[in-house]
Structure 1
């Protein structure tokens, strides 16, 4: 169901005059009249219509710039988010530039805004004073942005351990948010190891969970069991999956994608399985892909690359869109397209390969070296045992007779081993989480 998320954007001018009628100050702002509520079943209701939050998370950084990004950079990010068809964005885990909120206001994108109360409790009382101050400033500076639908009070705060003090502090932060802005909903993003029955899940209006079944732990199918368990404990609680994802490095590829191989193919399989389970769980009111873009992360050394989290759907420099980007575009966007996957796997040795494509046209017809291999229907299109000749092979596809795509694959005798990750898979969680991080001061 397509949701009419846009409203009329109004401009307002507030003028302060003294007793003599002279203007001493003037402020201009914009606003939209909109309402986001939840019903008794935990569904989100936007302006009277049920809506699912089809969202992505975003960090405010970019290759070779860090956080010193320009308005042009932010506008490019926003256009990419619009292209994928997302209706919401999670701005993690700190204050973001107000210009990005302006862009979301203008287009009707819903925003989750949050503070850096994150990962583990700091015993210094000044740290909590800072968290309260940041929450007040976040709300008071931004409450006129109609794009903001949720105030986030913490992210994975129990990663360093659980305590009564954490519960007390999260309650206090939630109270501050509700006092300053009772019109909006609050949420928190739990560390996936937190027990479902923990009292932290009873504080905010909306509960978020960061779940990585099929990547850090377990299998993708484990998410189904978890979602059912949560719903049994909190049948009317609005639930969003605030993070889920898998690292996908565009230089790695696999014909048998497996958890931990860092291949672009497994990233696709991971998201296909997890999103399918979410859509089969109607009490999951929304989800935020972690992450829209690859981002800098000093404590990481995964997939043979240091300092980067590769869970993004788009490269850190925004120049390359991974296959998984097009999976979500197929699920969310009305802009007709078809996309052949594994296009960066240019050199193969197999005589027969599998071909996959994502599309929102409803169908696709595959041609390889001019030979028609038939049509498939759906969002995910697959063909098996497609023969390759030695040398150059042209693979093309027609989607719904309105859009096409084409890639070239070179077949050679010897397998190109550079496409395979050969290191040991040791995630930062296995290194000890936040307590195990060694921070490079440079």
Structure 2
């Protein structure tokens, strides 16, 4: 408990400092103003909206991050790739009141991401256009600002969908800042901190600084840099007197750290490089760079070593969307997502298939995730390369180098980032090796300290081979190693298994193109031969009642390979350094057909509720004693029918009891990686006891519940701050009279009566077939659960939530919203 609180307090402190409306350091130093609040928004195109004197008073007021697509109804007329949600054209406008501190300063208007085709104006002056919705960008607006009111206008065009192969969202869906600096300052993304030598006794640190001088003449300055440890203590210092050239000067400073605190997922220590620029006796800039000290080594013999320690990537792929929130994700929601993954034992994340918001990487630095940072889904334009019709490929040739440089310079100081990814499943890339080489070369010119990979690419211009489904067949990985014994490989998207929370099937299921099925799909004999055998759990299907569009909670529904066999490839081969399973969380989009919002590839559903495979990974990836039983034990009309009961544990044996009677103790087979009992169904209590070296280490229980009688509410916090950012996640459970979750109960429409200062962010239940609106005060339950998400306003007070459903006893809860500290 204390450890979790310390971790959260550290992250909240970072986010608090990040969220201060003004952060002013030094006598005339840098200021950062967050301008997320009180934008005006209009859905639809308005040709005059770029004009400074345009009247937007009747437009809706919104805060950013904002995603207008998730606010709209699902429709089968929209593409399934976009989750059956619309795109469109939207306008945003914001008024900036002149601040006297801007006079004589550089003022940068910085966007962390706008999806997509954004055009920006200030006081009617067009600043530019950025097609790529996932890249950050900034405009110098100082020369356009004037005393009085200043008007920012942003046009966002996501009208041609699908503009991605997944749900993208639409709008200013990340943060917006003003960065105010003296004419002499460290450039935007102007530092690159490297650690060329890392030992336990000392580390050499090199900082490349890009310094800007807009004074119009060569200027004498002093550059003073201090490195501070996690306690704020100065542990290294450098000072240089320098003549700053007009416009741009490069400077490298070198430091020695004694007994450095090394960064790793287990010990995510970070340092701060604080760079001050002085002219005469006046400090004109103060620039802080967070970095970590760690040593990365990759080779086929030893695999991946982090700080000299053999380490496997226990990773997941992640899309940016999050269920009912769409693509506009508050920091608290992102932290919740990462915390759930961390508790699963995940130590690595591949961003799919584009850059994520800056705060994601900050959290990975402090929470301890290794990141595969990816820039592009594809390279060239559709058709011919298998990507979305109106995606970034249409702009790739003109914009790729500028966007890649923005990504690398923004992200390269993050210790969490350990691998760059050049692209995802770039069909036909072998016919465009000149493009691959150009991307590879630019990565290594901008950052020679990290390797690159590419998903579904096994040769040529990359450092680490990446396997997606092309590595999931029997002998795929082994054959590659025989042919390329000195090549390091990684599962960039591996494996592809499917699950639905609370749904089970006892017959093994492969994807139709890999094996013939009853619907008439056929597969080649070669494909069938490559399937990893997953034995059926019964001769006849025990659970025929579930909708075929849902997937199985057992580890038996996949493309070619199970979770267990996929992990054994990582476990047993040094050259194969890890995997990023597809996916950690379910995500919106890439739906198979109406009505569905997504597929079921995640081990965590759209609401953030774990599925059974979550615990399978926990048994493979963690040392904290655990055991998990499946399925649940509510199976009416199945009396006497053998139910396959599976246990996942990181112990070495487990014993199963039914109503207190032992059904046998089994040793864990390290080849099978699960324990299985066939149990004729009898209502009651199933309990599993895990052992290690003969000693009990953990227990898990599932039991037959009574009928659904009441609702129960629980929240991840009971107190918020009136800062318009804090979020509370409220879980709704359908329970019996003993307050036990009824796991097979679905379809109860829960209505929410909410009083007090709050903003409704969204509702969710994890059901991929539920096409109900996402930002309303009701939600149907799915497998006994639903989720309500509320955000604080700028007003303190008491928030009261009442949940009601026909035939169930209501539930209430309260939480407080306190004044924001100044």
Q: Contact 1:42–1:285 (CA<8 Å) still a contact in 2?
A: no
Paired residue for 2:484, among 229, 234, 253?
Answer: 234
Quick one: which of 433, 441, 446 aligns to 1:180? Answer: 446
Asked if structure 2 preserves the Cα contact closer than 8 Å seen for 1:115 and 1:154, the reply is yes
Which residue does 1:407 correspond to in 2? 702
Partner of 2:592: 301
Q: Structure 1 34/294 Cα, relative in aligned 2: closer, same or farther at 3 Å?
A: same
| Structure number, greater radius of gyration | 2
Q: Is the 8 A contact 1:346 1:408 kept in 2?
A: no
138-147 or 304-313, larger mean C-alpha shift = 304-313
Flag the 1:237–1:114 CA change in 2: closer, same or farther, 3 A.
same
When you count helix as a share of all residues, which structure comes out higher? Answer: 1
CA–CA distance in structure 1, aligned partners of residues 674 and 454 of structure 2: 37
3-state SS in 2 of match to 1:264: coil
- d(CA) in 1 for partners of 2:630, 2:595: 23
The 3-state SS of whatever aligns with 1:24 is strand
Deviation track 1:280-335 (CA, whole Å, cap 9, x = no partner) reads 343211111110000011x4226x752313100100110x2111111111011122
Structure 1 unmatched ranges of 5 or more? 214-219, 419-442
Tell me by how many angstroms 1:254 deviates: 1.4
1:9 to 255, 270, 284: 270
Distance in 2 (alpha carbons) for counterparts of 1:55 and 1:82 = 10
Cα separation, partners in 2 of 1:284 and 1:69, compared to 1, 3 Å: same
Q: Relative to structure 2, which stretch is displaced further, 38-47 or 329-338?
A: 38-47
Show CA shifts across 1:211-255 (max 9, x none). Answer: 177xxxxxx6x33x1112211222111100111212212353212
| TM-score, scaled to structure 2 | 0.44
Residue 398 (str. 1) matches residue 698 (str. 2):
no
SS at match of 1:129: helix
Q: Which residue of 2 aligns with 1:154?
A: 423
Alpha-carbon offset, residue 278 of structure 1: 3.7
Say if 1:149 and 1:226 are closer, same or farther in 2 by CA, change over 3 A: same
> d(CA) in 2 for partners of 1:115 and 1:129?
15
- Matching residue within 143, 155, 172 for 2:412: 143
1:344 and 1:248 mapped to 2: Cα distance? Answer: 18
Say if 2:347 is the partner of 1:52.
no
Structure 1 counterpart of 2:680: 387
Residue matched to 1:439? none
**Contact 2:345/2:622 (8 A) holds in 1:** yes
**CA offset at residue 376 of structure 1?**
1.8
Higher deviation after alignment, 398-407 or 87-96: 398-407
Aligned to 2:245: none
- For 1:97-121, what per-residue CA distance to the aligned partner results, in whole angstroms no more than 9, with x for missing partners? 2222112212332111011242754
Out of 634, 653, 656, the position equivalent to 1:366 is: 656
- Which residue, 613, 616, 626 being the options, matches 1:324? 613
| Alpha carbons 2:408, 2:446 under 8 Å: kept | yes
1:211 matched to which residue of 2?
A: 469
Residue 91 (str. 1) matches residue 351 (str. 2): yes
How is 1:40-119 mapped onto 2 (pairs within 5 angstroms)? Answer: 41=301, 43-118=303-378
Q: Which of 242, 267, 279 is 2:571 aligned to?
A: 279
Q: Conserved in 2, the CA contact under 8 Å of 1:13 and 1:26?
A: yes
What is the CA-CA distance between 1:344 and the residue it aligns to? 7.7
Whole-angstrom distance in 2 between the partners of 1:116 and 1:345: 45
Is 2:548 the counterpart of 1:256? Answer: no
Moved more, 372-381 or 395-404: 372-381
Measured in 1, the distance between the counterparts of 2:633 and 2:678 equals: 20
The 3-state SS of whatever aligns with 1:309 is coil
Provide the TM-score with structure 1 as the length reference: 0.80
Relative to 1, partners in 2 of residues 1:305 and 1:248: Cα closer, same or farther, differing over 3 Å? farther
Gap change, CA 1:337 and 1:107, over 3 Å in 2: same
Deviates more, 1:134-143 or 1:99-108: 99-108
Q: Which moved more, 1:274-283 or 1:231-240?
A: 274-283
Contact 1:190–1:208 (CA under 8 A) maintained in structure 2:
yes
Higher relative contact order (CA 8 A, sep 6+): 1
**1:416-435 equivalences in 2 (<5 Å):** none
3-state SS, counterpart of residue 334 of structure 1? coil
Q: Does 1:315 align with 2:581?
A: no
Task: Give the alignment's Cα RMSD to 1 decimal.
Answer: 2.8
Aligned equivalents of 1:137, 1:344: Cα separation in 2: 53
Structure 2 CA distance for partners of 1:181 and 1:345, relative to 1, 3 Å: farther
Correspondence for 1:425: none
Between Structure 1 and Structure 2, which shows a larger proportion of strand residues?
2
Report the alpha carbon displacement of residue 178 of structure 1 after superposing the two structures with TM: 0.1
* Other structure's SS at 2:591 match: strand
Q: Which residue of 2 aligns with 1:37?
A: 297
**CA–CA distance in 2 between the matches of 1:50 and 1:59?**
28
**Contact 2:272 2:290 (C-alpha < 8 Å) held by counterparts:** yes
TM-superposed deviation, 1:363:
2.3
Is residue 638–residue 681 contact of structure 2 (8 Å, CA) maintained in 1? no
Distance in 2, Cα, partners of 1:267 & 1:76: 28
